[in-house]
A and B are shown apart, each in its own frame.
Chain A
């Protein structure tokens, strides 16, 4: 029988959004394939960048993961994926060779990369189930990290705070506005149409609209 402890905040978050994003990033214990270190250093940055681009593609006029590379999104993604071992990532990069004429993940086209991920999710074509679990783990953890960071508005996902943890307001701010989203960079919030906290102008418009409509008092 379930014995599930849920805080008010978590409960309300689940009520509102239906999912909790961060729980899938688990330690590596139990899944890593033991073996010799890769012969050549694993280019972690390149693999995660390619994965990110496959998870959230970028198209003309439609920003995605790679459009945030100038803001070092892959470096930020990697900070949350230290638990993925080099040899696991190397296996992820090379295992697709069996399906794509010996080519590594980094050498595949975008369509082929997507096909490889679908095969990992499906798992049916992998005879070595231990290795499959490693690949699935690399995929799942990267997916969780990439989606979480991107849709939390990276690189405008941090509110500057002082040593006491208090938000630092912009000079001259009269209204204590702390929405970090700007119009300068199109982020995950913009993709999803999420506006974040209101600007002062939006507040004023809401006050005019709703209070005049008789819903304020």
Chain B
């Protein structure tokens, strides 16, 4: 192993939404408290760096070459086994660019879980994310016919329909981002187009293709201290040292990395245990979802392009305090339709001219909704730290609640004039990208891994900032809440550790 004697003030592991926000803030505003000098920061990323100036709506040459928008396969060999993207920018590179900042109930839930992340405490962070990610609503004129029909039908049925907000700039409305594609035009606001350029501008050293193997945890007296990171880059193993380590490897990557570092549940680590915390990899909270698909006998959207990949949604709570909250969105009415998927649609005839005719109509006539459930508290899964697999069991309450969402969808789709509707009774999908809480924050070390200041309860100089610390799922998708928490983490890291000496 090569020991690199270069020492940093901070090493950040992971360059997705969490790592990028931390890096940009620390580099711009943090100082070494001992000498007042600018921080020396390295950010490790397991995947490649498609570097280039950010030109929203145009794209940079390298990214335009690498992001082909052809078969969803630009990321095929750049994925973690658990399905998240391995490259600078992380999974913000291929989210759908819908952003929901935390709702008041989300903050209340986080406080109930033992953090001090109140709405007031996060206000500045949320405002920053709204600005950096350019979160906005699209004008009606840019929306698909189906989305407007969904809005009107749901409102007629008494639903409080809102516009889905998007994080884009100078969008060309190609429609691919809804399908999970990268954006070759840099119009999708993600870590690469927001915080990473800021981080680099202020001196952060980005080390791509560097997969962290473990955090070095040393015993010093009665304490355990994080002193560095061992990583592999192009077949070579290297160790770097730092004063502070921030792990931002994601809801699966972070607990797995800590486990490899000897930090985790004793029952999993056995004689490899260095520091015990039984909460690492546990408490997984995750959205459950169903897709309700509909077929219309008239076009409800453009064939491929021209309508904004944005739409409408409404929330439905089963009780006070956002109990059993569902978000029902017009996902099937927006975005590009891939013919190689449509060919196998449940609405498709078996074969022959009927099937071919279907293929000519389907891109404009297939619609539907997405029902996403923020599950009632108490239903938790875990990450298998050896295999990195999600272990989550659903239950009847979840299925019943999603069926209710399916029925609401059916009612709306019927009012819209759908001729066929299916999917409301399908088994739930558990979406790991929206998973949280596997290294949860909280005040009690017995039930959490980090405190509200994102600092490990058990290992000095070790911090965690990514979806794994968020103690409960939010009402919307993952990026908005996570970016908000990350901006809060950056504020607190600076205030507690990297402010100018008096």
Contacts and interface: CB of A to CB of B under 8 A. Distances in A.
A197 B184 contact: yes
Nearest to B75: A9
A147 B340 contact: yes
Contact of B344 (A16, A144, A191): A144
A13 B338 contact: yes
Nearest to A176: B64
A50 interface: no
Nearest to B393: A1
A169 interface: yes
A123 B178 CA distance: 39
Interface string B332-365: 1001111111111110001111011001101100
B430 interface: yes
A202 B69 CA distance: 15
B428 A17 contact: no
Contacts of A12: 94, 96, 178-180
B64, B291, B360, B433: most-surrounded residue (chain A CB, <10 A): B64
A114 interface: yes
B84 interface: yes
A8 B428 CA distance: 15
B161 interface: no
A211 B72 contact: no
Nearest to B139: A215
Given A14-B429, A16-B335, A16-B336, A178 B68 contact: yes
Nearest to A65: B356
Contacts of A163: none
A188 interface: yes
A194 B332 contact: no
A48 B399 CA distance: 42
Contacts of B111: none
B79 A18 contact: no
B222 interface: no
Contacts of B173: 206, 210
A4 B83 CA distance: 13
Interface residues of B, number: 88
A210 B171 contact: yes
B306 to A, nearest CB: 8
B352 A57 contact: yes
A103 B174 CA distance: 50
A5 B389 contact: yes
A193 interface: yes
A196 interface: yes
Interface in A147-193: 147-148, 150-152, 157, 159, 165-167, 169, 175-176, 178-180, 188-189, 191-193
B57 interface: yes
Given A13-B179, A180-B70, A198-B305, A211 B346 contact: no
A11 B431 contact: yes
A18 B96 contact: no
B65 A194 contact: no
Given A180-B70, A215-B138, A8 B83 contact: yes
B68, B69, B83, B170: most-surrounded residue (chain A CB, <10 A): B68
A8 B91 contact: yes
A206 to B, nearest CB: 4
A143 interface: yes
B4 interface: no
A68 interface: no
Interface string B153-182: 000000000000000011111101011100
Nearest to A191: B359
Interface string B350-384: 11110110011011001010100000000000000
A84 interface: no
A77 to B, nearest CB: 14
Given A151-B359, A175-B64, A192-B339, A6 B430 contact: yes
A1 to B, nearest CB: 5
Nearest to B427: A2
B53 interface: no
B356 A18 contact: no
B472 to A, nearest CB: 20
Interface string B390-403: 11111100010000
B259 interface: no
Given A151-B343, A179-B68, 7 more contacts: A1-B399, A5-B83, A5-B389, A12-B94, A194-B363, A197-B68, A207-B57
Interface of B: 57, 59, 61, 64-66, 68-72, 75, 77, 79, 82-85, 91, 94-96, 134, 138-139, 141-142, 169-174, 176, 178-180, 184-185, 289, 291, 293, 303-305, 308, 331-332, 335-346, 350-353, 355-356, 359-360, 362-363, 366, 368, 370, 389-395, 399, 427-433
13 contacts: A2-B428, A8-B91, A11-B433, A12-B178, A15-B96, A15-B291, A16-B180, A18-B345, A19-B341, A54-B352, A167-B65, A192-B362, A214-B139
Interface of A: 1-21, 24, 54-57, 59, 62, 64, 114, 117-118, 121, 143-144, 147-148, 150-152, 157, 159, 165-167, 169, 175-176, 178-180, 188-189, 191-198, 202-203, 206-207, 210-211, 213-217
